[in-house]
Amino acid sequence: MRHIVLFKFKDETSSVEMKKIQESFMDLSRKIHEIQDMEWGINISPENFHQGFTHCFILSFESKEDLAQYQINPDHLEFQKILIPAMEKVFVVDYWANPSRH
């Protein structure tokens, strides 16, 4: 199961604040055992379809139940306290990964 989260920060959110949020989010991967894998990046697409969403995080889980446990985990809820004041919008997609078959 993949959990993709994209953030659009408020204009007044500083790069220092964004870095703290990114580091705090990535730190969840060592605190929450349901997270199997986690990666992040900043949008660099030249297509200009980003709608202001700049930071993308991809988390992997074994099951829907693990994703549900992550969502109510106290460490995740604590992270949201630093994220929400800086965030204008969030976009989330959850899906079962379907590997390509060559």
Fold of 11-95: Alpha-Beta Plaits (3.30.70)
Has residue 19 got a pLDDT over 80? yes
With beta carbons less than 8 A apart as the criterion, state whether 60 and 2 touch: yes
Domain boundaries, the chain: 11-95
Alpha-carbon distance 97 to 60, whole Å?
Answer: 9
pTM of the model: 0.91
Neighbour-count burial of 51, counting CB atoms closer than 10 A to its CB (0-12 exposed, 13-18 middle, 19+ buried): exposed
Q: What is the distance between the terminal CA atoms of the chain, rounded to a whole angstrom?
A: 21
Alpha-carbon distance 38 to 52, whole Å?
Answer: 22
CA 38 to chain CA centroid, Å, is 9
Q: 49-99, pLDDT tens digit by residue?
A: 999 999 999 999 999 999 999 999 999 999 999 999 999 999 999 999 998
